[in-house]
Amino acid sequence: MRETLNRDTAINLAILALLVATAVGAHLAGNGFTVTLATKAAIFGLAGVGLNLALGYGGLISFGHAAFFGIGGYVTGILASHASTGMPVTSLPFTIMGSNEMLGIWPMAMLAAGLVALVIGALSLRTSGVYFIMVTLAFAQMLYYFAISWPRYGGEDGLSFYVRNSFPGLNTFAPIQYFAICATLLAVALVFTAVVTQSRFGLALQAARQNSQRTIAVGIRPYAIRLTAFVLSGMIVGLAGSLYADLNRFVSPAMLSWHMSGEIMVFVILGGVGRLCGPVAGAAIFILLEHVLGGISDYWQALLGLLLLVIVLFAPGGLIGIVTRRGRHA
């Protein structure tokens, strides 16, 4: 037991070190493109870490986390665009001005994503199993269609903002500095997840996944626990959405689409469900595959599909599961 735990920790640290080493190495070699790829991997990894809290530890198979990713992105885009025009976002019930300070935008993005997660979660968690999957998917799709049909912020075309938002003391335009911001947030989220999953709350959440009846029998209400996990998960994914919007300086309904939900889920699965760093490894591998397979063929997604099929059918523990020779963690 102890040995496998150490092995997991070692692999977790190795994954993070590899990600940072890639970015730093590419930076030293003057390869800004690879730094950006590593940044993308860190952001997608963050989104995966968020989903993993609900999906891996809570057993809540949400197929709608693009909703929170997109909300985070849109909050960022909207605030940034209002900051450039100087018009308030809204004056009722209180005035919200635009902002181009990341430190101001992140809490707003997480708050908005958290509120939406609260509403979607409160409704969806009334159901379970396959209903839950379909309902979360449908709610995310609702936001997607809303974003498409709402012309104020670009509708179908999306919303561009020309200047990346700023962070005190850093030049966010330098790829390596933006990577440092994203990687730091990823590390914070990982520590947060590690602490939370070992806390009373985290243990109750995992107990509710394994046996809901017994959890009720010892006096814990699974609904409240799951809803809390769902909201926390949504907030982390919202933060990732905000970073992704800043990376591209562009948000579009595609961030809300069900393909995005599927991809975030793929990050988690590729790495291994319910493993701390699984989603980071999964996201990094996904980016790598996109890059490598995309170079081989325009139809790389078909190859990705086949690979995913093989992993689901023959390696249920994900790639880290292959390395640790174990099925599901947790």
Partner 1 sequence: MLLAEQALNGLQYGMMLFLMAAGLTLVFGVMGLINLAHGSLYMTGAFACAAVAAATGSFWLGLVASLAAAAAAGALVEMAVIRRLYARDHLDQVLATFALILVFSEGTRWLFGSFPLYLKLPASLSGAVVLPGGLHYPLFRLVIIGFGAAVAVGLWWLITRTRLGIRIRAGEADREMIGALGVDIARLYTIVFALGAALAGFAGALVGTIQSVQVGMGEPVLILAFVVVVIGGIGSIKGALVGALLVGMTDTLGKALLPGLLSRVLDASSANTIGASLASVLIYVLMAVVLILRPQGLFGARG
Sites of contact with partner 1 (CB under 8 A): 55, 61, 63, 123-124, 126-131, 133-135, 137-139, 141-142, 145-146, 148-152, 258, 262, 265-266, 269, 273, 299-302, 304-306, 308-309, 312-313, 316
Rounded Cα distance, 14 and 284, in Å: 13
Query: Residue 326, SS3?
Result: coil
Closest CB 297 distance from partner 1, rounded Å: 9
Closest CB 52 distance from partner 1, rounded Å: 12
Nearer to partner 1, 18 or 148 (CB): 148
Burial label, 171 (beta-carbon count in 10 A; 0-12, 13-18, 19+): exposed
Nearer to partner 1, 34 or 128 (CB): 128
Nearer to partner 1, 181 or 293 (CB): 293
Closest CB 303 distance from partner 1, rounded Å: 8
Alpha helices in 126-166 (DSSP H): 129-149
Range 111-115, long-range pairs (CB < 8 A, 24+ positions): 111/235, 112/71, 112/72, 112/75, 112/238, 113/68, 113/71, 113/72, 113/75, 113/234, 113/235, 113/237, 113/238, 113/239, 113/241, 114/231, 114/232, 114/234, 114/235, 114/238
CB 8 within 8 A of CB 262: no
Closest CB 299 distance from partner 1, rounded Å: 4
**What is the token pair recorded at 238?**
């919202």
Nearer to partner 1, 195 or 306 (CB): 306
Nearer to partner 1, 129 or 169 (CB): 129
Nearer to partner 1, 12 or 141 (CB): 141
Closest CB 93 distance from partner 1, rounded Å: 20
CB 279 within 8 A of CB 42: no
Nearer to partner 1, 239 or 304 (CB): 304
**What is the token pair recorded at 222?**
């699974």
Bond before 279 cis per omega within 30 degrees? no
DSSP type of residue 1: -
Closest CB 258 distance from partner 1, rounded Å: 7
Nearer to partner 1, 23 or 266 (CB): 266
Closest CB 129 distance from partner 1, rounded Å: 6
Q: Positive or negative, the Cα torsion across 315, 316, 318, 323?
A: negative
Closest CB 130 distance from partner 1, rounded Å: 5
CB 42 within 8 A of CB 175: no
Place of tokens 């890059």: 291
Nearer to partner 1, 11 or 273 (CB): 273
Closest CB 58 distance from partner 1, rounded Å: 12
CB 71 within 8 A of CB 109: yes
